[in-house]
Amino acid sequence: MSHPTALPRHAAGISTPEQPPAWAPAAPTIALLTALGVLMVGQMYTVLALLHPMATSLGTTPGQATWTATAFGFAYAAGFLLAGPLSDRYGSRAVITVGLAAATAATLAVSAAPNLTWAVALRSVQGLAAAAFAPSALSYVVHHIAPQRRGTALTCITSGMLAAAVVMQIGAQAVAAGLGWRAVFWLSAALMALSVLPVGRVLRPTLRQDTGGGLLQAFAAMPRLVRRPRLVTLYLSTVVLMSAFVAVYTAVAIAGPPSIAGNSSAILALRAGALPALVAVPLLSVVLQRLAAPLRAVLALALAAISVAVGSLLGGHTVSLAIALLLFVAAVAAAAPAVVETINTSAPHARGAAVALYGCSMFIGASLGPQLTGALTGLGFGGILRVVAAALVLGVLLALPALHHRRTP
């Protein structure tokens, strides 16, 4: 796809402040980045389906094994803070390529972990390496995809990242049943290694930005961003949203709805039941974008809170619970790109750093989710969901200042 104002022949391929380069073809870019989003972000969630076999193999309990998810998530959040400015400085394609190579090695290492201590440590390294992808991918979309396709691209990619929580758990459960939990990491590493070639072919290099202050100036944007109250509340609402998302799926894995506890096939079906939402939301992105991004974020968070609250009352009704979780996942899938769009609009001169902080808050929340569920196990499945619903109400309140900002001239 070309930008409507194409460059003259003599300037083709040359970027100037007055004349932006031709936009990258949207379809192959969106397909590649969405698939990589599922693979890379999915490494956070694979262990949620492997807690029992990993615990048996590593000589620990499923509750303690949740630390393999938390360690990955915190390292992933920290990695975002590095990857965003690096992407601003050196270009998204370069950072994604290096990240894929490092993540391949780290993922193979996880497969060889002899005990829980090593598994937690190696998962931290894996999380740090995998974090190179998401902020670079989102930054690439902003710099290389035409504005009229950008909202769709962001929705597809963020939906892919959310779909990873379901798709990678289903895949991990199936692979582990036949080949053992370590094979999940072997296959993931192989897919990462094979992805390097299409990244080099499909993605365009980003012209190196001359920031004057070098790499340190790219990092210096972060403190300025966190001094902006409306951005901070958006980041905090993201922490709440992702903590709730992962807490609910961890509750399905270790607390178990009463009607399906211990039934692996029923739990698999409950996980898979959310997939239609992750397909539908990108397809409806054109309709959803008729609403301003801050308003979409607030409404989606409210729907998430309501659906989890209703789900907390349906533990004995599997079909009704599946519908409630379907709505919950749809709400999360709609909220995430709306928050990204709002943040991008609020920080046009430091998008990489702003998205890095968003990703950091996203995975701080995702890291807290398993521990939240572990701490609340005594409340049972319904009790956990009621606490999650209350947290999501807080998320709605945190997102409201962005809505007010939208209304302010």
Q: What's the pLDDT tens digit per position in 166-186?
A: 788 888 988 998 899 999 999
pLDDT at residue number 350: 66
Residue the block writes with tokens 């899938």: 333
Per the prediction, the chain carries an average pLDDT of 80
pTM score? 0.70
Closest CA to 345 of 234, 251, 254: 234
pLDDT at residue number 121: 94
pLDDT at residue number 125: 95
pLDDT at residue number 209: 52
Phi, psi of 22 (to 5 degrees): -60, 140
Q: What's the pLDDT tens digit per position in 20-52?
A: 456 766 788 888 898 898 999 889 888 888 888
Q: Is the pLDDT of residue 249 over 60?
A: yes
Reported confidence tier of residue 349, pLDDT bands at 50, 70, 90 = low
Tell me which of 81-95, 110-124, 299-313 is least confident. Answer: 81-95
